[in-house]
Structure 1
Amino acid sequence: MNDMTSTFFDLIRHGEPAGGHKYRGHRDDPLSELGWQQMRDAIEDGERWDHILSSPLLRCREFASELSTQLDIPVTVAEGFKEICFGDWEGKTREQVEQEYGDHQANFWRDAENHPPPNAETIQDFHQRIGEAWQHWNEELAGQKVLLVCHGGVIRMVLGHVLGLTPSNAMAGFQIPFACRSQVRLDHTEFGTLSCLVKHG
């Protein structure tokens, strides 16, 4: 155990995008002025990381780039951490989806594996995609402190992998408000890697 090294991932959801609350998924809206302020307020003075990872979408990438420049820290756009695609629900508010699709929305949040939105990425495929990205960057940045700027769905799936939850339970199990932060510690030992959720919210 004396040879143990640890990797720390700080996960932060983007702030409010332009246009307010709606299903965005792969829609590439930038942050609103409030969203920028939420993100800047979420970073404490003196915080440092070895590397910043970001979703490719503007609501994450633009802030990650700004922070990288300010702190002189390398940033990498990680395609695998893109938000889930919500299919036909993208661009609609929850109220609009409820009006158009009835109980489908409530059923999705209760059991996403069996009630996906029309033409959406399945929660199973999303879970696998995030798992593969998580494993890759765990290995690539082992021993470092990393900031991951991403999305509510991405954070849910990461925490699901860390805690051993099903995709549906992970999707329904966490509140992830704008600019919410979580931290995961990965201890690399001679017996394998042990994951721990240090804090959430």
Structure 2
Amino acid sequence: MSETTMITLLRHGEVELGNVFCGSTDPALSDKGWAQMQKSLESEESWDKIITSPLQRCHEFAESLATQEELELLVNDQFQETDFGDWEGLSPNDILEENAATLNAWWKAPTRVIPPNGEAFLDFRSRVLKAFNEVTETHAGQNILLVTHAGVIRVIMMHILGMQDENLFRLNVDYASLTRIRIYNDETGEWGTLLSHG
């Protein structure tokens, strides 16, 4: 017997801090960011559940939507963005002035170079995929909305597409973009397909 699980990934919208490294930092959505997320979901149907990162740029919108749609809201810490360590709250230009070599090395090899005092990519990937697999198992056969971050969405897409880690930044994830994934589960095992992204 086969079972199909639908997962829609929604990235948060623009935040009040602007264009800075914003992983564990917890800024609020800007008014524009809130509107971006509302617009992305205008033509969407409802879900069985909403799962969200605990950070307020995801959680506040998800909580509002869950209340409006009368849906269960689950908060999962494992879907937080990666921690950029000493780069948190800084713009790329700020870092280029202080530590251009490390930033340039990270841009070229984001899965092998770790921001100073930041989270290693392999640790980040491990926690995200563990949580994602738990979601597909626990909520099999359901239609789930996951409100989260660009890094989390990249990791999940790379997993579904079988991409190599070093191609991380080949995946563009805009503010309030939607990514749809379908997970099949039958006697041959579990496998996923990317339905749409953008």
1:103 deviates by 3.2
1:45 deviates by 4.0
Equivalent position to 1:71, from 62, 69, 72: 69
1:160 deviates by 1.4
Q: Report the AA paired with residue 179 of structure 1.
A: A
Q: TM-score, normalised by structure 2?
A: 0.96
1:165 deviates by 2.3
Report SS of the residue matched to 1:103.
Answer: helix
Q: Deviations over 1:109-163 (max 9, x none)?
A: 2212321110000001001011100111110110001000000000011111111
Match of 1:104 in 2: 102
Write out the 4+ residue segments of structure 1 that deviate beyond 3 Å after TM superposition: none
Return closer, same or farther for 1:80/1:46 CA change in 2, 3 Å cut-off. closer
Does 2:197 correspond to 1:200? yes
Does 2:92 correspond to 1:94? yes
Identity, in percent, stands at: 37
How many residue pairs align between the two structures? 198
Instruction: For 2:107 and 2:141, locate their aligned partners in 1 and report how far apart those are by CA, in whole Å.
Output: 35
Equivalent position to 1:187, from 159, 167, 184: 184
Report SS of the residue matched to 1:84.
Answer: coil
Match of 1:26 in 2: 24
Q: Report the AA paired with residue 121 of structure 2.
A: I
Match of 1:114 in 2: 112
Does 2:159 correspond to 1:174? no
Instruction: For 2:102 and 2:56, locate their aligned partners in 1 and report how far apart those are by CA, in whole Å.
Output: 29
Q: TM-score, normalised by structure 1?
A: 0.95
CA RMSD of the aligned region, Å?
A: 1.1
- 1:127 and 1:167 in contact (8 A); partners too: no
Instruction: For 2:26 and 2:44, locate their aligned partners in 1 and report how far apart those are by CA, in whole Å.
Output: 31
Instruction: For 2:165 and 2:87, locate their aligned partners in 1 and report how far apart those are by CA, in whole Å.
Output: 19
Q: Deviations over 1:71-125 (max 9, x none)?
A: 1111100111010000010000111112221132232122123211100000010
